[in-house]
Amino acid sequence: MPNYRPGRAALMWRPAGDDGTAECLLCARACRIPPGRTGFCQVRLNHEGELRTLNYGFTGALALDPVEKKPLYHFRPGTLTFSVGAPGCNLDCQGCQNHGLSRPGPDFAPVEAPADLAARLGQAAQAQGADSWSFTYSEPTVFFEYAQDLAAEAAKAGRPTIWVTNGEMSPQVLKSLDVAAMNIDLKGFTEDFYRQVTGGRLAPVLDNIETALSRGVWVEVTTLLIPGLNDDPATLKRLAAWLAGLGRDVPWHVSRFFPRRRQSSLPPTPLKSLQLAREIGLSEGLNHVYLGNAPGFSDTLCPGCGHALVARDGYRLGLDLLSGRGVCPACGRPTAGRWT
């Protein structure tokens, strides 16, 4: 079709050679994409030497979620976050729980998003009483342009934004974000695990967790514990010690795996493995280790005296002694977080 240019002009890329190849600068893969091809994420296309984003405005998932669902337990608890996800991902996790969205396939076609789409979603978020906006469900790095336009609408409304991410974005992307909070996956703690099970790399994730914390972003970290693949106690001990070295107050969510996709023959994570991981995290100095997709160990306790400060029943709060205060009423010790 002459003169038809699919998608929208992409940001964060550069020409790479005389043959029209484009290098995408969004994530650690740094795909070099020849004309007519897409990058690993399947949603960035080299169209005649120009990189285009194919998922701008393609809202594959949209919901008003409790912020606890991200999971963020120390960020504005009990509030609702307007949550948007678009197709594509820069990883290919064997057990992806969302692969209908994350791997849209080679036939994925862009939509023509209305020019005022971000503004209209902004109005919807305000009408529904969203306290914040989250870019989530898939990987926001690969819908960067769309997420940035939505974040601008959130900023106009005075709402903070959240990224729920695998942490594989490039340093340029991380630097460009005006984000209040992130939940970053730390899927394992060896390069072998990342390469074999996710198709990604560990080193960029570690760098990005460290950078986000140093920039004052509120960061919580999630590890999905997969039986036999990343639940070795010695490795978990190294992971927890590394995290505690960045800050003992970084909350660590240890989440239960259920069989999916190319890992459908594995069993669900035994509860005792989750509890052992939690004990390892605490013994390595972390103040807050939570279990996900499993009963119990979801309350926030004062790291000083053990007093229950926030009690959770699923995503609902049964008690919240921190919002508006941030200190334990029993011993006066502050608990790290954003307790607005």
Question: How many other C-beta atoms lie within 10 A of the C-beta of residue 236?
Answer: 24
Q: Which stretch binds ligand SF4 (CB under 6 A): 22-30, 108-116, 126-134, 224-232?
A: 22-30
Stretch that binds ligand SF4, among 40-48, 215-223, 294-302, 308-316 (CB under 6 A): 40-48
75 CB burial (10 A radius; 0-12, 13-18, 19+): buried
* Least separation in angstroms between CB 197 and ligand SF4: 17
Among 5, 11, 17, 26, binds ligand SF4 (CB under 6 A): 26
Residue from the set 121, 142, 151, 219 that interacts with ligand SF4 by CB under 6 A: 142
**Which of positions 65-104 make contact with ligand SF4 (CB under 6 A)?**
90
The interface region with ligand SF4, picked from 33-41, 119-127, 156-164, 269-277 by CB under 6 A, is 33-41
Tokens describing residue 105 = 């396939």
Tokens of 218: 């509120």
**27 part of the interface to ligand SF4, by CB under 6 A:** yes
- Segment lying near ligand SF4 (by CB under 6 A), choices 19-27, 152-160, 262-270, 277-285: 19-27
For residues 298-317, which are near ligand SF4 according to CB under 6 A?
none
Should residue 39 be labelled a site residue for ligand SF4 when binding is judged by CB under 6 A? Answer: yes
Residue number with CB closer to ligand SF4 (185 or 220): 185
List residues near ligand SF4 by CB under 6 A. Answer: 24, 26-27, 29-31, 39-41, 44, 90, 141-142
